[in-house]
Structure 1
Amino acid sequence: MESQKDESDGAGDAIATNDASSCRSSSPRHPVPRLYPNIAEVTEDKETTEVKDKEPSETKDKESSETKYYRVGAYFEWVPMNLDEDSRTEESHEPPEGAVLCGTSKKGYSSYVARAYFYNDRLPASYVPRKKVAYAGWNGEAHALADGVEVLVLRDASHEWVPCRKGGYPTDALPTGYSHLGEVTYTGREMYEGSLRLGKVHPSYKKMFITHRGVEVGLSDYEVQVVTPREKSLE
């Protein structure tokens, strides 16, 4: 796996906020396999949910949102990017047709909705073709990843961004990633210092985290991505 400091977002510079480190749990837990249910009870409040912790045994018979979305793979897919050093030709780093353009990096480069595998996590990420890497936050730090990067491509689906705050997310939000503790995470976006930035909505931390100047920055208000099959969205 290839990782480097988040140079595009100004690693090493001073920052205004850095909420991620104080949110991390220090309780010992064991890693679990890669397909995870979201082990939480959700209570609906209009379009979004408020998450309450619940024991894993109480949700064994519930279908995970991850499984639900893989069943509609004909409508969208996650396309792996070949970003190895030997494959970084002029065309290899270009996003596929149907990739979701959203926002920019700190330096103003166009970014696309993506995800990336890093250690035992699958992280919501922001793919920046100009830099040929995806930027993602992990353990309070920003990482530039060129290995295990996948870009979201819509085939026969529409998408929207639903306003949420403090860990909330729509019940039909796209489950982009997961933590090594088994919690599902989502793709979000929000304006930060004049730029529209993609980030990771982490419900248990009640924030969306973006990468900025080498670290994760936590935001309480944001929008969450929802992907809907086109035929359903027309009903």
Structure 2
Amino acid sequence: MVQHLYRWVDSSITDEKFPSTAIQIGADSHGHPIYVGRAYFNNTLTPVHVVPEHKIAYLPNDGKEHCVDKYQILCLNHFKWVPSEGGVVLPGAVQAGRNKDGIPLYVGRVFHEGTSIVGMINPKTLVCYFPYQGKQLVAQSYQALVSHFYEYEVE
């Protein structure tokens, strides 16, 4: 179990000072940093795409992109991104929540149109869902966020 390697910080705490150990995955097309988060939406705790400058987080659900203003930021930097596909749950994968059916949801990352985007890996549907320009999109290949304490050959 790797939960002791990271913690979730409420967005209300980050309003004054963003955590220095937050997991940044890249920047959006305007150069704003993007971070890994999680939030409750429709009775599901799910991974979200956080852009602090926007003061909201984005998530995919029911074919659309949704925004939430209450979320948590993933902190501590004991992670790496490992290529994956087909809903495979790698050892040490970071679980961000569960859907309403109790299926665990894991943190993924997709590169789409020049932007790194946080997505949710659903092992039951075998894909990584991610929000983009008002829609929920799907990636068959993606990167999974895993603990540094697991060894992978990364190209």
Shared fold, TM over 0.5: yes
| 1:162 corresponds to | 82
* Contact 2:38 2:72 survives alignment (8 Å): yes
Following the alignment from structure 1 to structure 2, what is the Cα–Cα distance between the partners of residues 199 and 93? 26
SS in 2 for 1:82: helix
The reply on whether 1:208 has 2:128 as its aligned counterpart is yes
- Bigger strand fraction: 2
Task: Provide, for residues 102-151 of structure 1, a one-character-per-residue CA deviation record: whole Å limited to 9, x for no partner.
Answer: 1234554211010011121001011111100111112221111102x000
Following the alignment from structure 1 to structure 2, what is the Cα–Cα distance between the partners of residues 110 and 181? 32
Output aligned runs, 1:1-235, within 5 Å.
68-70=1-3, 72=4, 75-82=5-12, 92=15, 94-105=17-28, 107-147=30-70, 149-154=71-76, 158-228=78-148
AA matched with 1:153: C
Q: Which runs of 5+ in 2 are unaligned?
A: none
Q: Which runs of 5+ in 1 are unaligned?
A: 1-67, 84-90
AA matched with 1:185: L
- Alignment CA distance shift 1:140-1:108 (3 Å): farther
Following the alignment from structure 1 to structure 2, what is the Cα–Cα distance between the partners of residues 105 and 210? 14
Task: Provide, for residues 46-69 of structure 1, a one-character-per-residue CA deviation record: whole Å limited to 9, x for no partner.
Answer: xxxxxxxxxxxxxxxxxxxxxx34
Task: Provide, for residues 150-179 of structure 1, a one-character-per-residue CA deviation record: whole Å limited to 9, x for no partner.
Answer: 00110xx52111111111120220111210
Q: Shift of residue 99 of structure 1?
A: 0.5
Aligned residues: 151
* Contact 1:81 1:93 survives alignment (8 Å): no
SS in 2 for 1:217: strand
Following the alignment from structure 1 to structure 2, what is the Cα–Cα distance between the partners of residues 196 and 186? 16
* Contact 2:34 2:49 survives alignment (8 Å): yes
AA matched with 1:81: S
TM-score (norm 1): 0.59
Q: How large is the RMSD of aligned CA atoms in angstroms?
A: 2.1
Following the alignment from structure 1 to structure 2, what is the Cα–Cα distance between the partners of residues 227 and 171? 8
TM-score (norm 2): 0.87
AA matched with 1:78: W
AA matched with 1:119: N
AA matched with 1:158: H
- Bigger helix fraction: 1
Q: Shift of residue 216 of structure 1?
A: 0.5
AA matched with 1:194: G
SS in 1 for 2:75: strand
- Give the share of equivalent positions with the same residue, in percent: 26
